[in-house]
């Protein structure tokens, strides 16, 4: 008799991932000129060369992730003579929605501004300042943001780190450049916040791995060396560099003495000179500064930040950004935004050390979320039931394995890049 087997049938293999792309055609008036352009939106499969275990022989390419992007190309232009700009935001964990729908794209969210925010339902409008007048654009969502995902059967975690993130975004740029015939186009990057860290790393990776040279790189809210923003014990650099921003926030909320409220630029020049001079020296001296010296620096810091001398002495003349946004308007029962200090919030605990949330992020999340979801599915015709991850918490903890026991620094990478 034939041998009988028992047990459940093996699970079917997951379907082979494929690109999903849609194209639409649009027009926008910029100045006195009507621009006709094509939008390509969708996901592109990123593959890596697979090797047989232990043999080192190639067995083709294996799909690893699908990257969602929105590309804008001006009609009637030669691809090899038209600049192209690849854009992304930061986080880590942020989609590209902020630069896409708030600054560079031909369509933008209409949300009003501080003190005059528009209520839902939100609206989209044309962006007369779009970069499309000068350059084609590709907005990229890294893995686990936007609609980008690891393919079924592949773990997303390896993509959630400094090195793999740069490789994945860089491989997407190489693939897009190849498929759409842009190798002879002038090529640029625009990154924001952690996106500037990514852009610095990409400039080196693209050149070294793919021989893809860039014509320029634009950095918004730049962070190339994490020592400039990590408020760690013994690292006084952030306290020096953040001080002018504290003064600007205090100026906006009218917390400075009258003579400093007259001219913002003049005030910031004075604060910058103090930060790089007497303040930096005072922090360097540490306990040798003495009580009289501490009192003098506290008085001058109070003048420039709007915080009390007692508070400044209590925190050893060093104010973290998360404490500043809570302390500046504490006596009014308010906190200010970290992303945009013009916004004010109300915390339940008025004596809390830090703000419970960022009122500026709360103000912009709703309009941008509505805008991108309506725009992609409606005007661009890209259908997906996945949630568009504006900012994904699933990417944490983010891996900096290559920078253990040191600060992340891509400035040296940029220095080595040939322009």
Q: Give residue-wise pLDDT tens across range 96-105.
A: 999 999 999 9
Round to whole Å and give the CA distance between 268 and 258. Answer: 14
Whether 290 shows a pLDDT value over 50: the answer reads yes
* Overall average pLDDT of the 65-91 stretch: 96
Mean pLDDT of 322-336: 95
Q: What band does 14 get if pLDDT is binned at 50, 70 and 90? A: low
Q: Is residue 354 over pLDDT 90? A: no
Per-residue pLDDT at 7:
60
Supply the DSSP string of 72-100, one letter for each residue: EEETT--GGGS-EEEEE--TTTB-SHHHI
* Axis crossing angle, helix 237-252 with helix 290-305, rounded to the nearest 10: 40
Confidence of residue 351 (pLDDT cuts 50, 70, 90): confident
**Residue 13, pLDDT score:** 64
* Residue 49 in this model has a pLDDT that exceeds 90: no
What are the pLDDT digits (tens) for 117-148? Answer: 999 999 999 999 999 999 999 999 999 999 99
374: confidence class by pLDDT, cuts 50, 70, 90: very high
Residue 85 has pLDDT above 90, yes or no: yes
The crossing angle, in degrees rounded to 10, of helices 290-305 and 264-274 is: 160
Average pLDDT over residues 290-308: 97
Q: Is pLDDT above 80 for 3?
A: no
What's the chain's average pLDDT? Answer: 93
Cβ contact 125:378 at 8 Å? no
Residue 12 pLDDT class (50, 70, 90 cuts): low
How many of the other CB atoms lie within 10 Å of CB of 148? 29
DSSP string, 239-307: HHHHHHHHHHHHHHTT-S-GGGSS-HHHHHHHHHHHIIIIIHHHHHHGGGGHHHHHHHHHHHHHHHH--
**Is residue 80 very low, low, confident or very high in pLDDT (cuts 50, 70, 90)?**
confident
Q: Can you give the pLDDT at residue 53? A: 44
pLDDT for position 353: 85
pLDDT digits (tens, 9 = 90+) for 256-286: 999 999 999 999 999 999 999 999 999 999 9
What are the percentages of helix, strand and coil residues in the chain, rounded to 5?
40, 20, 40
Closest CA to 141 of 70, 242, 246: 70
Residue 81, class by beta-carbon neighbours within 10 Å (0-12 exposed, 13-18 middle, 19+ buried)? exposed
**Could you give the percent of the chain with pLDDT greater than 70?**
94
pLDDT at residue 176 greater than cutoff 70: yes
Higher pLDDT, 14 or 206: 206
Average pLDDT over residues 31-50: 93
pLDDT higher than 60, residue 168? yes
How far apart (Å, rounded) are the C-alpha atoms in residues 404 and 200? 19
On the question of pLDDT at 406 being above 70, the answer is: yes
CB atoms within 10 A of CB 107: 19
Per-residue pLDDT band for 10 (boundaries 50, 70, 90) equals low
Is 20-226+367-416 a domain of CATH 3.40.50.1820? Answer: yes
Task: Work out the pLDDT band at 58, boundaries 50, 70, 90.
Answer: very low
Predicted confidence (pLDDT) at residue 55 exceeds the cutoff of 50: no
The whole-number pLDDT of residue 348 equals 85
Answer whether residue 57 shows pLDDT above 50: no
Tokens of 386: 């996945």
Q: Output the pLDDT for position 5.
A: 53
The domain locations on the chain are 20-226+367-416, 227-357
């Amino acid at each position: 008799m034939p041998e009988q087997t028992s047990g459940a049938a093996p699970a079917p293999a997951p379907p082979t991932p494929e690109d999903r792309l849609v194209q639409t055609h649009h027009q926008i008036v910029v100045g006195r000129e009507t621009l006709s352009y094509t939008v390509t939106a969708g996901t592109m499969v990123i593959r890596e060369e697979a090797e047989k275990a232990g043999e080192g022989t190639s067995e083709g390419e294996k799909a690893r992730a699908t990257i969602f992007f929105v590309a804008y190309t001006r009609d009637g232009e030669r691809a090899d003579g038209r600049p192209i700009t690849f854009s992304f935001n930061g986080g880590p964990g942020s989609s590209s929605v902020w630069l896409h729908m708030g600054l560079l794209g031909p369509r933008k969210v209409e949300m009003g501004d501080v003190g005059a925010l528009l209520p839902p339902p939100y609206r989209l409008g044309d962006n007369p300042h779009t970069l499309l007048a000068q350059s084609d654009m590709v907005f990229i969502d890294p893995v686990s943001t936007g609609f980008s995902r690891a393919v079924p059967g592949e773990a997303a975690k390896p993509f959630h780190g400094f090195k793999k993130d740069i490789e994945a975004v860089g491989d997407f740029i190489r693939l897009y450049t190849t498929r759409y015939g842009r190798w002879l186009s002038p090529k640029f990057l625009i990154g924001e916040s952690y996106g500037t860290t990514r852009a610095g790393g990409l400039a080196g990776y693209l050149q070294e791995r793919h021989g893809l040279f860039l014509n320029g790189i634009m950095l918004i809210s730049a962070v190339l060396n994490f020592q400039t923003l990590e408020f760690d014990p013994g690292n006084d650099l952030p306290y020096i560099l953040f001080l002018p921003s504290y003064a600007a926030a205090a100026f906006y909320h009218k917390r400075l003495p009258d003579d400093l409220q007259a001219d913002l630029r003049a005030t910031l020049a004075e604060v910058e000179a103090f930060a790089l001079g007497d303040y930096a020296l005072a922090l360097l001296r540490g306990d040798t500064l003495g009580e009289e010296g501490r009192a003098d620096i506290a008085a001058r810091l109070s003048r420039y930040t709007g915080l009390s001398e007692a508070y400044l002495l209590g925190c050893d003349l060093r104010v973290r950004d998360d404490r500043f946004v809570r302390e500046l308007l504490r006596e009014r029962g308010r906190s200010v935004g970290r992303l945009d200090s013009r916004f004010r919030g109300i915390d339940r605990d008025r004596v809390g050390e830090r703000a419970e949330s960022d009122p500026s992020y709360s103000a912009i999340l709703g309009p941008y979320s509505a805008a991108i979801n309506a725009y992609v599915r409606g005007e661009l015709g890209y259908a997906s039931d996945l949630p568009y991850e504006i900012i994904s918490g699933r990417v944490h903890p983010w891996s900096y394995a290559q920078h253990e026991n040191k600060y992340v620094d891509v400035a040296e990478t940029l220095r080595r890049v040939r322009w």
